[in-house]
Amino acid sequence: MTTTNQSRMAARYGDPEASALATGNDTIDQLLDHRSVRAFSAEPLPDGLMETLVAAAQSAASSSNLQVWSVVAVRNTDRKARLSALAGNQAYIRQAPLFLVWLADLSRVSRVAEQQHAELHALPYLESLLLGTIDASLAAQNAVVALESLGLGSVYIGAIRNDIEGVAKELGLPAHVYPVFGLCVGYPSIELPAKVKPRLPQAAVLHHETYAAEPESAAVATYDQRLGAFYQREGMRANGWSEQVVNRLRDTSNLHGREHLVEQLIRMGFGLR
Ligand SMILES: Cc1cc2nc3c(=O)[nH]c(=O)nc-3n(C[C@H](O)[C@H](O)[C@H](O)COP(=O)(O)O)c2cc1C
């Protein structure tokens, strides 16, 4: 059975009645099909994969073309195990054949300036951290789209920020570099296939001309019900989204160390003025 645009929209929004998109193509179909993959097969990765992913990543836009990001490709089993221990012991970091650590990298521009005996007065600001973080995120997402087009799967690992100094030590990162997130990469397990997780109705995220919060509560109520039904179908605890959001954000302990990011970033050479 072919998957139609309507069935993709139905899965994306958890709404069997979702309308098909009036404008669509194969690229959009692939984007709609995204799901995080947390179980990988033993199938080896294709030759030249890293070059392909990095070319896709480098094709993303970059603020002022500063290209203030880098990526470390980790395949070594012991190093993946140590990174997993630093990132909440998530098993798929160990299981995935490839673990990418995406970096906001302000060290390269600092070295370029050093060679020119120039001081970068515009560098020690929060803006630089955002530049690196945004560049790394756009690059990584391009790589995710590319790898999904090759039949591979991935899951981002924000928990790599639980201890950015520990990760920096493990990866030999210089000053002015911090790990934004990790990405487990591999062929998805056939036995444990990942499912498309529904998103908020568009009424909650799309505003026309000016911000309108009014449609939100109905949209969130609808989503609570749809996401709960999704979890129930998947045999998981059927919390609604609002409950999940509050559970995740009500308590600092859920930051798992990330509440100390500012102090760690400062020690790692970031000026956050
Ligand atoms: C920046 C970022 C960090 C994430 N960190 C983790 C993580 O540490 N562990 C994990 O299992 N999933 C992580 N995820 C995956 C999200 O949980 C997932 O994208 C979300 O639940 C939506 O599911 P989907 O990607 O399957 O659509 C992360 C996603 C992003 C974008």
pLDDT more than 90, % of the chain: 97
pLDDT of 1: 47
73: phi then psi, degrees, rounded to nearest 5? -95, 120
In the predicted model, what is the mean pLDDT of residues 81-87?
Answer: 98
CATH 3.40.109.10 residue ranges for the chain:
35-195
Calculate the CA dihedral of residues 169, 173, 178, 182 and round it to 10 degrees: -80
Output DSSP code: residue 187. Answer: P
Please tell me whether residue 110 adopts helix, strand or coil conformation. helix
Q: pLDDT value at position 257? A: 95
| Alpha-helix residue ranges (DSSP H) falling in the chain | 5-13, 26-32, 49-58, 77-86, 91-95, 107-115, 126-149, 164-171, 202-205, 216-233, 241-249, 261-267
Q: Which atom of ligand 1 is nearest to the CA of 38?
A: 11
- Mean pLDDT (whole number) for 84-90: 98
Atom of ligand 1 nearest to the CA of 34: 27
Instruction: Give the pLDDT mean for 133-152.
Output: 98
Sheet containing 69-74: order of strands = 69-74, 98-105, 177-186, 153-157
**pLDDT (mean) for 204-222:** 97
Q: Whose CA is nearest to atom 1 of ligand 1?
A: 158
The one-letter amino acid at 149:
S
> How many C-alpha atoms does 98 have within 13 Å on its Cβ side?
23
pLDDT score of 58: 99
Distance 127 CA to ligand 1 centre (A): 25
Predicted pLDDT of residue 3: 80
Q: Give residue 158 CA to ligand 1 midpoint distance, Å.
A: 7
In the reported structure, the alpha carbon of residue 183 is separated from the centroid of ligand 1 by a whole-number distance in angstroms of 10
Please compute the mean of the pLDDT values over residues 85-106 and round it to a whole number.
98
Q: Which CATH superfamily is domain 35-195 in?
A: NADH Oxidase (3.40.109.10)
pLDDT digits (tens, 9 = 90+) for 16-56: 999 999 999 999 999 999 999 999 999 999 999 999 999 99
- Coil, helix or strand at residue 87: coil
CA distances from 34 to 10, 135, 148, 149, 254 (A): 13, 21, 8, 10, 26
| Per-residue pLDDT reduced to its tens digit, 3-12 | 889 999 999 9
Measuring from atom 15 of ligand 1, which residue has the nearest CA? Answer: 156
CA–centroid distance, 266 to ligand 1, in Å, is 26
CA distance 255 to 264: 14
pLDDT at residue 91 is higher than 50: yes
Q: Which atom of ligand 1 is nearest to the CA of 92?
A: 11
Percent of the chain's residues with pLDDT above 70: 99
Nearest CA to ligand 1 atom 10: 157
**Number of the ligand 1 atom closest to the C-alpha atom of 180:** 1
Query: How many Å lie between the centroid of ligand 1 and the Cα of residue 260?
Result: 21
Give the pLDDT score at 95.
98
- Ligand 1 contacts (CB < 6 A) are 34-36, 38, 90, 155-159, 181, 197
The pTM of this model reads 0.97
- Lowest mean per-residue pLDDT among 22-31, 92-101, 124-133, 238-247: 238-247
